[in-house]
Amino acid sequence: MTKPSQKVFQGKLIIGLLRFFSWWSLSTNHRFGAAIGWLLWKLPSHPKRISKINIELAFPYLSENQRQQLLKKSLIELGKTTTELGALWCWPAENLLQKIQGVSGESYIEEAFAQEQGVMVLSPHIGCWEIVGLYLAQNYPMTILYRPPNIPYMESFMTQVRQRAGAKLVPTDLTGVKRLRQALRKNELIGILPDQDPGASGGVYAPFFNHPARTMVLVSKLAAKSHCRVLTIVAERLADGQGYHLHITPAETNVADADELIATTALNRSVEKCAKKFPEQYQWNYKRYKHPPQGSPDVYKRQ
């Protein structure tokens, strides 16, 4: 077990590294990240092993060479995700927002607000999801559900920087869910990361790339009760440090179905559609199938 003093040291070290990376331009920052990703690709690493398994499960129809190329690109993008966090957490919000080169589908948000039942935005772990909250909070009243970090020392810093554009962060507990419902009733916007394991009590098993994954039921419950519009948003990371392009699309209508399996299957399909558009920028190193259904093998123990 890690001692509290070690956790504090880890937190200070991470914040120090983030501040270091924040000193550089976005293009230089991404070059640092690409170098880290290249090392993850060339050397045996945990992210490489997990990403390889997930890509094989998601794209069995690709050739071995195609999967290897996707694995390499995804690890390079993972490196950029890591280093660009310095800019995303330490730069002034207005400097970051200037890096957004375009937004596709924003009319879906305006149409959703016109219904006066609130808007739910789902941001999968694709590209630069951190900038999504900044952009939306700058333009709309927004409440974001977040999971407290494993290093408690980081929490205060993390919540402060994520709220600097006006967003309200609420934790993944009953109080947080209550505040999400209140925001929807006030015809505001709420943000949720939909592709995390919700824990044993917060989800059901639904297919994700044709394999069972524990999937949150919170989205369907909120959508069914509020009748809000549900959208997905992805911040595509552009090449050569040019910035980002935001893509907003409607989620599948069945995400609000009363049947939990139908709803969570529709939720996962919505995430799949986003991941297939930008497969090299999806976070394949996350153990999405870590807790399989009883009787099913743990895919991460096979290699």
**Could you tell me the two tokens for 157?**
């810093």
Task: Note the pLDDT tens digit of each residue in 120-154.
Answer: 999 999 999 999 999 999 999 999 998 888 888 88
Task: Note the pLDDT tens digit of each residue in 194-204.
Answer: 999 998 888 99
**N-terminal to C-terminal alpha carbon distance within the chain:** 26
Q: How much is the pLDDT for 122?
A: 98
Mean pLDDT of the chain: 94
Say what percent of the chain tops pLDDT 90: 84
Over residues 238-248, mean pLDDT: 96
DSSP for 117-164 reads S-EEEE--SBB-HHHHHHHHHHHS-EEEEEPPPSSTHHHHHHHHHHTT
Over residues 198-212, mean pLDDT: 94
The C-alpha atoms of residue 35 and residue 76 are separated, in whole angstroms, by 7
DSSP for 179-200 reads HHHHHHHTT-EEEE-TTS---T
In the block, which residue shows the tokens 């305006």?
110
CA angle 242, 133, 180 (to 5 degrees): 165
Specify the higher pLDDT residue, 40 or 156.
40
Q: How much is the pLDDT for 28?
A: 97
Which range marks the domain in which residue 42 is found? 4-301
pLDDT band at 1 (very low <50, low <70, confident <90, very high): low
**Could you tell me the two tokens for 164?**
């600097």
Over residues 260-283, mean pLDDT: 98
The C-alpha atoms of residue 87 and residue 251 are separated, in whole angstroms, by 30
Tell me, what amino acid is at 290? K
Order the strands of the 100-104 sheet from edge to edge: 100-104, 244-250, 229-237, 119-122, 189-192, 142-146, 168-171
**Could you tell me the two tokens for 293?**
């259904």
Over residues 266-294, mean pLDDT: 97
**φ and ψ of 296, to 5 deg:** -95, 145
The C-alpha atoms of residue 274 and residue 251 are separated, in whole angstroms, by 10
Q: What domain count does the chain have?
A: 1
Q: Kindly tell me the burial class for residue 243, based on how many C-beta atoms sit within 10 Å of its own C-beta (0-12, 13-18, 19 or more).
A: buried
The C-alpha atoms of residue 75 and residue 69 are separated, in whole angstroms, by 10
Task: Note the pLDDT tens digit of each residue in 59-83.
Answer: 999 999 999 999 999 999 999 999 9
- Three state DSSP letters for 234-269: EEEECHHHCCEEEEEEECCHHHHCCCHHHHHHHHHH
Q: How far is CA 126 from the centre of its chain?
A: 6
Closest to 101 (Cα-Cα) out of 68, 72, 128: 128
In the block, which residue shows the tokens 């911040």?
235
In the block, which residue shows the tokens 């552009």?
238
Closest to 68 (Cα-Cα) out of 76, 291, 90, 212: 76
Alpha carbon separation from 98 to 93, 136, 233, 252, 255 (Å, rounded): 9, 14, 18, 31, 33
The C-alpha atoms of residue 250 and residue 105 are separated, in whole angstroms, by 9
pLDDT band at 259 (very low <50, low <70, confident <90, very high): very high
Q: How much is the pLDDT for 2?
A: 62
